[in-house]
Amino acid sequence: YLGGNCITVVEGLESLQELRELHVESQQLPLGEKLLFDPRSLHSLSKSLSVLNISNNNIDELSDLSILENISHLIAVDNQLHHIKDLEFVLSIWTKLYKMELNGNPVCHKSKYRDKVILQSKSLASTLREEQTPINLS
């Protein structure tokens, strides 16, 4: 759990190939900056990481994180996600994703946003049918 620090780039995780959870929410970033991820660290975590909390870090796209093929729970609340196409792209890759929290992002106000997200992700839709509970997409 590394939330609430002054990390600007998530890096140096190359030796943590078994890491399952990474919580880097609410970093104290310089004004106008967003949290960045070093590609080498992402590559090292690509098969193991299943829970990622990147909330409140000015993140405006998720495509760099698409390499994380084992993600099952994404928490990306209060960021700057604007584009449904970006979500559709990562959802087409993240086949194990069963929970996604995106409250407080501009994309949540787009027309039919929730329907498009659920249609794109079989695992999210399956979870909704099995549990009969809503996911935090708004």
pLDDT single digits (tens) 33-76: 999 999 999 999 999 999 999 999 999 999 999 999 999 999 99
pLDDT band for position 119 (cuts 50, 70, 90): confident
Mean of per-residue pLDDT scores for the chain: 89
- What is d(CA 118, CA 34) in angstroms, rounded to the nearest whole number? 27
Question: Measuring CA to CA, which residue among 57, 64, 70 is closest to residue 19?
Answer: 70
Q: Is residue 4 part of a domain?
A: no
Q: Is residue 79 part of a domain?
A: yes
Share of the chain above pLDDT 90, in %: 73
Q: Is residue 73 part of a domain?
A: yes
Q: Is residue 32 part of a domain?
A: yes
Domain count, the chain: 1
User: Does the structure show a pLDDT above 50 at 131?
Assistant: no
User: Does the structure show a pLDDT above 50 at 93?
Assistant: yes
Structural domain boundaries enclosing 77:
9-120
Q: Is residue 136 part of a domain?
A: no
Question: What does the pLDDT average to over 13-42?
Answer: 97
Higher-confidence residue: 115 or 38? Answer: 38
